Amino acid sequence: MFSNVLKKFFTDVVQYENKVATDGYFARGTQMLTQIITVIRRSNDTLLADAFGAAALMVLLVASLHLPTIG
């Protein structure tokens, strides 16, 4: 068993055991990034309205949390 490890370590072969598992990792990351960019480009019209809605919800949350200290 130890001789097999030494053979793998000292040979110039570039076949790693983990190469198959990690081969498509970076390709998946760029694919996800392009999908996110595509979604943002398609929803350009509603993106601003959604941001205003989220801001309004946050203002309502902060205001409702401060209600007990007013009275």
Quote the number of domains for the chain: 1
Which amino acid, residue 16? Y
DSSP 2-70: HHHHHHHHHS-----TTHHHHTTHHHHHHHHHHHHHHHHHHTHHHHHHHHHHHHHHHHHHHHHHHHHHH
Block residue for tokens 């398609």: 42
Average pLDDT of the segment spanning 2-30? 62
Closest CA relative to residue 65, chosen from 57, 52, 55: 57
Residue 34 belongs to domain spanning: 2-70
Q: What is the pLDDT of residues 19-64, one digit of tens each?
A: 555 665 556 668 888 998 998 888 887 888 999 999 999 999 999 9
